[in-house]
Chains A and B, each alone.
Chain A
Amino acid sequence: MKQNIKLTNIVRYVMIILVVAAGSCKKLQEDPKSIITPDTYYNTIDQVQSALVAAQSHLWDQFKGYQEDMFLFNQDDQITRGNLEIPEDYASTIWAAHYAALLNINQAIASLNKGLTNTGQEQMDQVMAQAKFLRAFNYFMLVREFGGVPLLTDETPDLFGTPVARSSIEEVYAQIIADFTAAIGKLPVSYEDPDRGLPTRDAAKGLLAKAYLTMATYPLNKTEYYANAAQLAGEIIADGNYSLVPDIKDLFSAATKYGPEMMWSFNSNNVDLGPDPRLWSDMQGFGTICAEPAWEQAYPPSPRKDAFIETELDGVKYYDLGDYWPGVHKFQYDSPEDIASNRSIVNMPIIRFADVLLIFAEADNMANGSPTPAAVDALNKVIDRGNGYVPNTADPLATLSMSKEEFDTKVIEERNYELCFEMDRWFDLVRKRILEEKTLPDYVINFTEDDYLWPIPSVDVRVNKLEQNPGY
């Protein structure tokens, strides 16, 4: 009898346990609370715009994008350490950053094309114009760095499954022109005060002008585009929305970060810090961006030189200090605290009015076969400002009597002085094919024509059989 009770009890217990155990079995299907998947995101205009924010963050952030990879441009004649030995995977990180940006930009464009609920058409057009502006900018950098690249758009099917081959340089420029043109049609002329970091119509025009100018030079050499470049740059000058900062010393300062000269830039602020004000350099070589002594010595003495280049440390010239190089001064914003703490709120210009003047001068001269008064005036505005508006025999003003070639050389030199350390010189050396001529004598031996394009990242060659650039 007792045995029976015990057994009944046990059976009951076991039953209860098994029922409880089976019932409490948690499901294996994942129902994430903390993560966002692309399928459920991009429903509001803010979410779409957050993709564009991320796109720019890939290109400009502390230790990321061009803040970290600015040294890639040290193969030019301005920055030290370039020796024209460009190894495999030289620029793979910046390639990856551009394509990470493009992934998000294309997603934003696709979402906008699908349409958002509760969002006005005008607001969607605005963000669409920003997205196309950013896409064009990314491809403009890529095509100048790597040549023809895989052309991914919002319409590319099965990105992760089906390999995409490299497009031709012409095809990439066609996309750049289409996107910048679309952006010019919708972007506003200016923004209310707090939103001045957004791209304007004239920023799109300026970059498109620069794209046309590049198409007119190497490697495409489609000289018919000089006229397009001159026309667009001329429109910006005529419209008067932008102007030169009168005093060269004020050009890079907190007050002039977003105008009147700055048109569009990589932005930094106290939350998202910019690079070291000396561009990671303490003039001793632990950093990456210092000026080549030979280049510094060739730079004509002027107020601009004093504002842009640092040649002394504690009152001693760098060449008297031993193992030191000239430093970058232009981005220092006269803020000693920032220098001491290696932090800055520097904006790195991508297009500014001085660049537009120089684009105009170059394109107009080349389109017309000789310098026009407008071209001379545009160039001299930049020279004059750099000289503090006084004559400077080291860097004299241009004249109408100059030949086309003399004037062109003068413009390129002026770009060299004015836009130094702004990630511009390398592209000038490339599109004018003057790298061999300008490289330091020590390194000329390393020069080949293949240096004009950086290598395609080896992983893309290995995994998806992208064609490698010659020489790598």
Chain B
Amino acid sequence: MKPKLFIFLAAICLQVYAFAGPLNTIHSVPDGPSVNVHGRIVNENGDPVVASVTVKGTPAGTTSDVNGEFNLSNVADDATLVITATNINPVEVKVNGRTDILIKVSMNVNSLNDVVVVGYGSQRKSDLTGSLSRLKGEDLRLLPTQRVDQALQGRAPGVVVLNTDGSPGGNTVIRVRGTNSINGDNNALVVIDGLQGGNLNSLNPNDIASIEVLKDASATAIYGSQGANGVILITTKTGLIGKPVINYINDFSASKVRNFPDLMNVVDFAKETNKVRLAVNGGGTTPDPIFTDAQIDSFARVGGTDWIDAVYRTAITQNNQLSISGASEKISYLLSGAYLNQQGVLKNSAYKRYSLRANVKGEINNWVSFGFNFAWSRENANSALFGGAIDYPGNPIAGAIRFSPTIPVYDDAGNYSKAALRYANPTLWNPVASTLEPVINNNTFRTNINAFLDFKILEGLILRVSAGAILTNVNRYNFYNTKTYTGLSKNGSGTVYDENANYFQNSNILTYDKKIGRSRFTVTAVQEQKFTKTFYSTINASDFGDQDIGVFDLGGASLVTSNSDYSERVINSYLGRINYAYNDKYLFTASLRGDGSSVFGNDHKWGYFPSGSVAWRLSEEEFLKNTGIFSDLKIRASFGVTGNQAINPYQTLAHVSSGFTYPYFGTDETNLGFSITSTSNPKLKWEKTAQTNFGIDLSVLNGRLNLTADYYNKLTSDLLIPRELATYTGISSIIDNVGSIRNRGIELAISGDPYVRGNVSWNTSLVFSHNKGKVIEIGTSDRIPFTSGGFGGQGVQSPFMFLIPGQAYGQMIGFHYLGVWKEKEAAEAAAFGQLPGDPRYEDINGDGSIDLQDETVIGNSMPDFTFGWSNRITAGSFDVNFLITGSQGNDLFNVTRIALESPGGTGAALVHRYSPDNQDSDIPAIIDQQTRTNAGLASKVKIPGASGNRNSRWVEDGSYVRLKNITVGYNFPIHLIRKIHFNNARLYVTATNLITITKYTGQDPEVSSYTSNDAQLGSDFNNYPQVKTFNVGLNVSF
């Protein structure tokens, strides 16, 4: 806590101090004759600027291209060029006879005239009444990431991005303002160029012009039943007027696992194993140790097996991107292609992405224009399963840290060694086999097509007719041969899965802009229809005759079961919005959307989602305008209702389901059983989120210091959760609208240019998000449990994460572990039937025994706040960009550690376990059976076996501060690269996850092994470890 606070304060102080610097200066040179001028316009960071260039006092002029370049012929040698654009401060430059001029401009930092993309339209940033965060493509370029979701991390207040594992093409959880739904999707709606339901992972970040995140109801209610989780609007790039620009990026990176748990060396492990063995001396027997002294001596000489080294590697990633863009007056285009080939640090894991994009926009005549976007991607991911996705014995991540170092990788016959029968965990599988043997291949093909026609019907009245489709094809296969844990019991087991999901969208958007006197208004009316159909089929096969051919010949499997499903979903919508501004001071927005969805019960097909918001630009009022303090000061308030369709098609109907096979007739074939699995509920309706938002936007010091702050309060009600039925009905629950959750939070964004002097500048921005989720109601049950502790053995079998009415979201419930009974506490321990060295739990109800009545809150998985601090320092041709992210106050349940630190485990901590000579330890002693029998105590610790590890011993503070990304770039001097006909060349090096400060003892604090429900976040169970990556890349355009 303390060091993190310090960093915050330091950052703010530095910013304030650095504001002393002057604004930038403009070059000027003496007179000369008439000349042809070639110029290049760049901003403080040396980035090209598109601007209009006119010769003062003449009609002559042009526009700079995407590289900031322009050409003007026959300009008087003493002419003055005027450079203007909406996002820069206007500049005048004297030609003074020069033919090659570099013009530096300063960006109009608060960019009040910027146009931002909003739902079904765009707006001047100054006119916004809702809460919205924006990220420009430029930011993505300067801090390169391979994925868009990761690029959002730490950049937008209210947006929390959790990298839940480090696998190639790995998983992220993105939440905008907390978790609204228990069973529904909590992912924000992704809209790419107007097409709803896009996928972030398949996007090439270099194709992106801007990302807008809509957060409050005034911004999201326009998306009605899909808006409750926030909306991420992505606009892709298009060409700019000028000659074609070819851009090529080649990025090479190497990754290593960031951190491993501390493990014992082989000698300590052998001694530990003997210690465990010798304690089994009940009934007066004296067991033989597992390892003789000679064997241990031999281990000391030869060393043991380094399983970590056997399954991990340094992973290499190649990323190539090529794009061509350009535009004439009537048509603009962008074509791009990219190939990402990413190795995983776990052997036999990789991710490849191929992507293509074509964007075209043009004018057909003076009243019709068109646009067309085509994007195709293929993702290919493979990795052995990890975390909660696989039974622990076959989990290679678990095996690498838990398998006995006393055993070689291969046995004498050259086969994979098996776990020892008599010590450690005999069911654990050889991790090298678990890593190398599974054949896993996941392919996803996505095609996004989107086209629109714009009709300018009258001055200010535009009709946009758009149609789009997202065609997704998922093809997966896997095979586990008999050398794997999964495959052995089934004599080889494989799965083939195919899914086709086709989504169609038609939106007809009518927009009318009008200005009357001091009033400006925009009216938007939309009619929209969306249709999704999904078909999947899956084949599970086992008992394979040939383990080498495996899944490639399903005919070779003697047991085959298959399954398929088809579903349709229809949403018809009508919506309208009015934006009104009076005198640029008083701003109003109101919207209403009606959504009809097929998935809901007959009584509730239609839902209506209103919103309203107001804003007051105080800075435009005379009394403030004249002070000159504020470039902008705006206060905002909004309220609205959004929805979530948390259920799947056909869930309102009663079901008879297949899959209940049983050899009823007693034959070798099985018989197909069909069981009634649900009963109907025609009353099902939307989950509704009502959200209130108050915000302030502030800009001072000529836009060099900006602050945006928001407070929100969201209540999601009618939650679609299973309502318990008496189990004697034969059905445990029925989906119903019962329950509610509240989220309240504060968001803060501070940005500015603390230091701008000469060609050195520093741009910095800090975002801060605080969200507090609370469960209000969940129906008849007193709590909803979530299992997230792994499987059997040394995990946590019973649930430890719960949603409990009246309590915070993300509670962990269990026993309060107080460490180990010390010798001086022997009498107290004996009262509980325990000996010194035994674990000590808090007797919450004070009844003298530890049982299920002594459960208490042992942690919470949700952070108090998260933050991101991004910086850009430019000095001449060099720029340094870095991003620090962090999370504070969240707990992690370190399930992985249980196995490492239980008796017979491999964790180095065991060396320091409690003993009479080492009483300052939290790790219980190994107490031999004889000692226990002699003590003759009856244990009062009656924790059921399945709850055995459900205690606070494994709960750790998951707070961290991390240097997420640092990039140093060098822009080659223009005069040098001109000679080889390049316009721009940038060389950069990047380090990701370079420094992490945390008290968490697991592999990485950014982790969650269970992500299918947000209530399970915060459990660390043998997940694919996070990596530290170093990139070097070259970005050239010509």
A contact set with B: CB distance below 8 Å: 6-7, 10, 13-14, 17-18, 21, 24-39, 41, 47, 49-58, 60-61, 81, 85, 87, 92, 95-96, 99-104, 107, 149-150, 152, 159-160, 163-164, 194-198, 257-258, 267-272, 282, 284, 286, 313-314, 319-323, 340-343, 457, 459-460, 462-464, 466
Contact = CB atoms under 8 A, between A and B. Distances in A.
Given A21-B506, A270-B668, A150 B728 contact: yes
Contacts of B300: none
B655 interface: yes
A31 B649 CA distance: 10
A56 B662 contact: yes
Given A30-B649, A197-B667, A100 B942 contact: no
Contacts of B277: 322
B488 A30 contact: no
Residue from B463, B564, B572, B727 whose CB has the most chain A CB atoms within 10 Å: B727
Interface of B: 277, 280, 283, 285, 287, 367, 421-422, 426-427, 455, 457, 463, 465, 488-491, 506, 508, 527, 529, 531, 543, 558-559, 561, 564-568, 570, 572, 596-599, 602, 605, 649-650, 652-658, 660-676, 679-680, 724-732, 734, 780-781, 792-793, 852, 942, 944-945
A327 to B, nearest CB: 14
A53 B726 contact: no
A198 B491 contact: no
Smallest CB-CB A-B distances: 4 pairs: A197-B666, A103-B730, A54-B673, A53-B673
B491 A267 contact: no
B945 to A, nearest CB: 8
A419 to B, nearest CB: 21
Residue from B422, B506, B656 whose CB has the most chain A CB atoms within 10 Å: B656
A37 to B, nearest CB: 5
Contacts of A100: 675, 730-731
A188 B25 CA distance: 104
Contacts of A24: 506, 529
B529 A37 contact: no
Given A32-B650, A36-B657, A37-B655, A163 B670 contact: no
B566 A33 contact: yes
B912 to A, nearest CB: 24
Nearest to B726: A464
Given A21-B506, A460-B728, A462-B724, A28 B660 contact: no
B570 A53 contact: no
A48 B681 CA distance: 24
A466 B725 CA distance: 12
Contact of B653 (A35, A269, A320, A457): A35
Contacts of B570: 26-28
Contact of B490 (A61, A87, A343): A343
A196 B667 CA distance: 7
Nearest to B453: A13
A55 B662 CA distance: 9
A282 B508 CA distance: 66
A150 B729 CA distance: 9
A411 to B, nearest CB: 30
B391 to A, nearest CB: 11
Residue from B367, B566, B596, B675 whose CB has the most chain A CB atoms within 10 Å: B675
B439 to A, nearest CB: 20
B727 A460 contact: yes
A103 B676 CA distance: 7
Contact of B662 (A21, A36, A57): A57
A316 to B, nearest CB: 10
B979 to A, nearest CB: 52
Given A38-B676, A160-B729, A323-B280, A198 B489 contact: no
Contacts of A164: 728
Contacts of B558: 270
A283 to B, nearest CB: 10
A459 B727 contact: yes
A102 B726 contact: no
Given A30-B598, A198-B664, 13 more contacts: A10-B455, A10-B457, A28-B570, A30-B599, A34-B565, A36-B655, A164-B728, A196-B666, A269-B667, A282-B427, A340-B488, A341-B490, A463-B780
Contacts of A17: 463, 465, 508
A175 to B, nearest CB: 14
Contacts of A197: 663-667
B772 to A, nearest CB: 29
B649 A54 contact: no
Given A34-B567, A53-B662, A321 B422 contact: yes
A286 B728 contact: no
Given A38-B656, A103-B730, A463-B724, A28 B664 contact: no
A322 B289 CA distance: 11
Contact of B728 (A18, A58, A81, A149): A149
Nearest to A314: B421
A90 B277 CA distance: 33
Contacts of B675: 51, 54-55, 57-58, 100, 103-104
Contacts of A95: 727-728
A160 B663 contact: no
B653 A32 contact: yes
Contacts of B781: 459, 462
A13 B368 CA distance: 11
Given A34-B567, A282-B426, A25 B605 contact: no
A6 B596 CA distance: 35
A132 B685 CA distance: 40
A53 B780 contact: no
A252 to B, nearest CB: 15
Contacts of B491: 341
A362 B202 CA distance: 72
B948 to A, nearest CB: 13
B669 A271 contact: yes
A284 B668 contact: no
18 contacts: A13-B455, A17-B508, A27-B598, A28-B570, A28-B598, A30-B598, A37-B655, A41-B674, A51-B676, A53-B672, A55-B675, A61-B660, A95-B727, A163-B726, A269-B667, A270-B559, A271-B559, A313-B421
A60 B662 contact: yes
Contacts of B649: 30, 32
A270 B727 contact: no
A340 B672 CA distance: 29
Nearest to A313: B421
B741 to A, nearest CB: 22
A137 B225 CA distance: 49
